[in-house]
Amino acid sequence: MENTQSTLDKIKQQIEENPILLYMKGSPKLPSCGFSAQAVQALMSCGQPFAYVDILQNPDIRAELPKFANWPTFPQLWVEGELVGGCDIILEMFQQNELQPLIQETAKKYTQDDAQS
């Protein structure tokens, strides 16, 4: 029981600490699945740094996150603690020009915060 709890804590902490976070298979430079690769490309096109977690290196997160997120598949994009969605949603938002402002405004908000504190 304790094990799943710590995994959930880890997930919550990652989501809290990273305003733009992608759970994916592989890394942005070496994605391990087509969906992750497409999601990464869309995110990179927004021109802002983002955090990622390679779920292949973290089987505990891979097992627990779908239940926590109520979203069965990867990749998963989280922005400011909210699940945005998976590959289809990311690409759709990108094509409709909704992803770019979301990512850029979020990044801007957090770089300003850091500068002031």
Q: Which residues are annotated as a binding site for [2Fe-2S] cluster?
A: 33
Annotated binding site: 25, 33, 62, 74, 87-88
CA 76, CA 88: separation in Å to the nearest integer?
10
Annotated binding site for glutathione: 25, 62, 74, 87-88
Order of strands, edge to edge, in the sheet holding 20-24? 51-54, 20-24, 76-79, 82-85
Give the pair of three-digit tokens for residue 91. Answer: 């690409």
